Structure 1
Amino acid sequence: MSISPVRKHLAQALSAVILLIMLLSLFPGAVHAASAFGQTPASSFSSQSGIQLENSTEGGQNVAFIDNGDYIAFSNVDFGSGASSIDVRVASNNNGGQIEARLDSLTGTLISTVTVPGTGGWQSWVTRSASVSSASGVHTLYLKFTGGTGNLFNVLWFKFNAGSSGDGDVVGHLFAGYQGWFNAAGDGSPNGGWVHWSKNSNAPSASGNVNFELYPDTREYSKLYQTDLANLGNGSPAKLFSSYDQETVNKHFEWMKTYNIDGAALQRFGADESDAPNGWKTNRDSVAVKAKNAAEAYNRKFYVMYDITGMNAGNWVNAVKHDWSSNVVNAMHLTSSPAYAKQNGKIAVCIWGIGFTDRPGTAAESAELIQWFKNQGVYVIGGVPTYWRTGNNDSKPDFMNVYKSLDMISPWSVARFGTLQSADNFKKNTLEPDFAFTQQNGIAYQPVIWPGSAWSNMTGGPRNENPRLHGDFMWRQAYNIKSTGIQTGYIAMFDEYDEGTAIAKMAENSSMIPTNQYFLTLDADGVSVSSDFYLRLAGDINRLFKGQIPLTAEHPTSHR
């Protein structure tokens, strides 16, 4: 019996439909998966709870009337080989809240947390970003909304960004400033004395020859040098490390790896146009190479951070140019190290001190140096004054075009506030408008975080001048930074025992310091914390910035 052409075509079509249905059931991800990397309307959810839709002033519809615990979900989202960040378009006429991005269920893997601020209106749209981790392949994406009472915010769209191959070492990461400037008699350094530990290069002693505020916890160092201070409270001899020893630098970078600090901004002082050797420069360059070695060994990143403090106002630009070309690039080969930090495919450098009223350099000179680096394909970070944006107080008034020419701005904030309340005031009056300005002008933003400070042994100033508050002070800064929508940070400093801003291991109490000399100990405010507490706290701050732990007002780090 013959089959008519029409019936034959209908049978073929039906077979094709059945085959398609089978494919959809067997391989839903392969057929239906939508790329995570396109701009996805929030209104295109596959399921939701608690929300409503409304028309948006920017076109289309936005998700609205969001309360704490509501969510929207999107089936078969393809993250490919991995996402590195998420952008979300949001608005809030309230205090905002958080968006938790989770995989496959409301309690599934947390891949990011986006902080939504108040924007001044339900249709006053801003884009907020956050880092993403552990997202690859095809998943159901849940956007869970958390916050206070009442309507939190509106959401218009979201977009994930793919990870880059080897780039992006600075933005979305946490670095710590690394001094590496301590010497001890007998360490083999051409400096030949107790540089930075004492006031006159003789051994530190209780007769007024102590130049540092925090006594390091020395139990893990393989090389130590005897001071003229009395034994510690626990009976151990009062010894100190030298940054000139490779073993010491290794230990510091080992701690960075162990405690989840992404890398070090290697401080570089005293650039000049002469290649004539002297002990100080030889010591500095030796430590720089040892830092490179340690970064490679412990898989940390580093970049050079020029501090122009004290440079000759007549030739500081040429001095930096010469030092970079002759020493950093050609002699020490720092920038060719696989550990040298890159951003946007470019090697990074920081110039700290640009625009400060008490540092050298005119606006024209600073602009020349920045452009010189950029012409060589270098990503330029500026360590700038606190009040760079307003051009007053610690900032020279005519530097705005210089600041705007930078790839990244990192304003100094150490000792600009000293209490939790003043940290909150700093957020409102400085941090938030700074960040808004940099976003509007396409500049990356790297705020400074510091644990507290004092330098009574160096200057005779007050003891415990800016208290650490057993981590509350440092966490509050991180909380304020993250809640503003920033995921990048610079810790001042890793090993600054002189001015009391170190996060590296230090004395917990009187049993770990000499019995005949004052040092600030970690229990100064009546709470006992371990010597590695600030390293652990820094690691949690990094996790917070990367969206790996939720934003909480209280730090999650145990004191011991």
Structure 2
Amino acid sequence: MLPSRWIKVVSFLRVGSCIAVLAQEDSLQASIIDRSTLDGKLFVGYQAWFRKPFEDNGNSHWTTSLSDPGLTLIHYVVGVDMVPNITGYPEECLFDTSFTLPDGKPAQFYTNDCEWVVDLHFSMMANYGISGAFIQRFYGYINEANGGWVNILNYAKTAAEKYGRGFVIEYDLNGAATGSTNVTDTFLADLEALSSITSSPAYMHQNGKPVLEIWGLGIVTEVTVDDGIAIVTALKNAGWYVILGVQQAWHAELAADQPGGFGPVYKLAHMIQPWTVGSYDVNNYDEFHDGRQAIEDRNALQQLGLESSIVVWPGGSSSNANPSEVFDHFPRWNGTFYQKQLDGAISLKPNFIFGAMFDEVNEGTAIFPVLRNRELPTNQRFLGIDDDMEPDIYLKKAGDAASKLAAAWQGD
């Protein structure tokens, strides 16, 4: 079992130059969410792909290269733009890097292979009122050796049950290709193998069906329209409620004369979730919201009789993993950018809000605690949050939005 000191993260307090996490041993679970519906909730995407490099455990994602097992994380292979605030993480789940903090100590990263990391992350979701997580399952890693991803799914299941959260499996089509694999059969076989996980009382349902998201139809070009039709049809026939994560201009492909368009696939879904990360910045978000989301998306969904999810994200930067990218490409503006999107999403009252992402430090969209600018390593460029912000500010914003969306649904 997890040591009691890690049971529940209550708040972050400034103590000199440190952040201390208070633990509370009573009330192991926050109130249990209603797992029978997505309506009125805010979920976060959970990558959970951060592992200690150079060990026999699949991939790391702290780095972009695993070519030299004699090295630790060094500047030319680092794959993240943000550094996690590891306050409260069990020591056995951490490892030193070659990045030097201002006090001369090495920065530490965590490994998702450690069950207590996943436990801590779900406790954060519970403490701030976030409904739970969509656990990313990448097609290219479905058959990963050593059970790494399946282990993490089991950790998430246990933590969601423990903290009264919900969870969903989200398949990412990256790595899939119609010409080389039967994607439909792969999904069905994987879901059968994961039945002990999806049968959890914490697994989310909608309209009486277990929920599954397929991300990337119309985005991952190696998967064809015909394959998309086969995938969605088979999953629906197997009893799943199917959400499709699609490109942000998805409704343009609904016209029957759109050559090669994925409209026939989108129409089969139960819910559409347009992927809007990178589609706007703080300057043109209002225009995007007022036009695309409030008019075009809403009208298309109503005409098709489909339910909806709106994606929000705090900002983005991925220049370490992708050197050609601009550093701090989508600034956070001290939380203003995220707050505008949360408020905009609530005003449209989708079935649920999807927060991209909980832990995505590769692309700088993480909302879990990361280091502030003054706390960053001195021998590598990273992006921090503003010095006048508390590390948990984005968790607070997400939790507040979850409460407001729930109230909007309860007001009906």
The structure 1 residue matched to 2:305, chosen from 431, 435, 442, is 442
Residue type at the aligned position of 2:108: K
| Cα deviation code 1:224-267 (max 9, x no counterpart) | 44334243113443111001110100011111101111011111
Partners of 2:45 and 2:135 within 8 A in 1: yes
1:383 equivalenced with 2:245 (yes/no): yes
How far is the alpha carbon of 1:509 from its aligned partner? 2.4
CA distance, structure 2, for counterparts of residue 415 and residue 165 of structure 1: 32
- Distance change >3 Å, CA 481–CA 331, structure 1 → 2: closer
| Cα deviation code 1:484-539 (max 9, x no counterpart) | 3435210111110111000111002222x22211110101xxx6111111111110
How far is the alpha carbon of 1:402 from its aligned partner? 1.4
Residue type at the aligned position of 2:98: L
Give runs of aligned pairs for residues 393-542 of structure 1, distance below 5 A. 397-419=260-282, 421-432=283-294, 433-460=296-323, 461-486=325-350, 488-511=352-375, 513-523=376-386, 528-542=388-402
- Distance change >3 Å, CA 483–CA 389, structure 1 → 2: same
How far is the alpha carbon of 1:211 from its aligned partner? 0.9
Partners of 1:388 and 1:411 within 8 A in 2: yes
CA distance, structure 2, for counterparts of residue 488 and residue 167 of structure 1: 13
How far is the alpha carbon of 1:354 from its aligned partner? 0.8
Partners of 2:308 and 2:352 within 8 A in 1: yes
Moved over 4 A (4+): none
Aligned-pair RMSD on alpha carbons? 2.5
Residue type at the aligned position of 2:300: F
- Distance change >3 Å, CA 463–CA 446, structure 1 → 2: same
Aligned counterpart, 1:353: 216
Q: Which has the higher contact order (CA 8 A, sep 6+)?
A: 2
The structure 1 residue matched to 2:197, chosen from 314, 325, 334, is 334
Aligned counterpart, 1:62: none
Q: What number of residue pairs does the alignment pair up?
A: 368
Partners of 2:51 and 2:112 within 8 A in 1: yes
Aligned counterpart, 1:368: 230
Q: Greater share of strand residues, 1 or 2? A: 1
| Cα deviation code 1:444-482 (max 9, x no counterpart) | 110110000001111122211101111110111122222
TM-score if structure 2 supplies the norm length? 0.83
Give runs of aligned pairs for residues 113-128 of structure 1, distance below 5 A. none
1:210 aligns to what SS in structure 2?
coil
- Distance change >3 Å, CA 383–CA 244, structure 1 → 2: same
CA distance, structure 2, for counterparts of residue 189 and residue 539 of structure 1: 37
1:297 equivalenced with 2:129 (yes/no): no
| Cα deviation code 1:411-454 (max 9, x no counterpart) | 000011112x3111111221012012212321011011000000
How far is the alpha carbon of 1:391 from its aligned partner? 2.5
Partners of 2:184 and 2:230 within 8 A in 1: no
CA distance, structure 1, for counterparts of residue 132 and residue 46 of structure 2: 9
- Distance change >3 Å, CA 422–CA 397, structure 1 → 2: farther
Structure 1 unpaired stretches of 5+: 1-163, 550-560
CA distance, structure 1, for counterparts of residue 362 and residue 259 of structure 2: 28
CA distance, structure 2, for counterparts of residue 293 and residue 166 of structure 1: 15
Aligned counterpart, 1:286: 151
The 10-residue stretch of structure 1 (436-445 or 330-339) with the greater mean CA deviation from structure 2: 330-339
CA distance, structure 1, for counterparts of residue 301 and residue 187 of structure 2: 30
1:381 aligns to what SS in structure 2?
strand
Structure 2 unpaired stretches of 5+: 1-32
The structure 2 residue matched to 1:258, chosen from 117, 127, 131, is 127
Partners of 1:198 and 1:204 within 8 A in 2: no
How far is the alpha carbon of 1:307 from its aligned partner? 0.5
CA distance, structure 1, for counterparts of residue 209 and residue 352 of structure 2: 18
1:248 equivalenced with 2:110 (yes/no): no
- Distance change >3 Å, CA 320–CA 369, structure 1 → 2: closer
Partners of 1:272 and 1:323 within 8 A in 2: no
CA distance, structure 1, for counterparts of residue 197 and residue 276 of structure 2: 28
How far is the alpha carbon of 1:218 from its aligned partner? 0.6
1:456 aligns to what SS in structure 2?
coil
Residue type at the aligned position of 2:131: D
Partners of 1:214 and 1:521 within 8 A in 2: yes
- Distance change >3 Å, CA 400–CA 311, structure 1 → 2: same
- Distance change >3 Å, CA 240–CA 228, structure 1 → 2: closer
How far is the alpha carbon of 1:271 from its aligned partner? 5.4
How far is the alpha carbon of 1:220 from its aligned partner? 1.0
Partners of 1:305 and 1:349 within 8 A in 2: yes
Partners of 2:215 and 2:246 within 8 A in 1: yes
CA distance, structure 1, for counterparts of residue 208 and residue 39 of structure 2: 12
The structure 1 residue matched to 2:52, chosen from 179, 184, 192, is 184
CA distance, structure 1, for counterparts of residue 259 and residue 250 of structure 2: 8
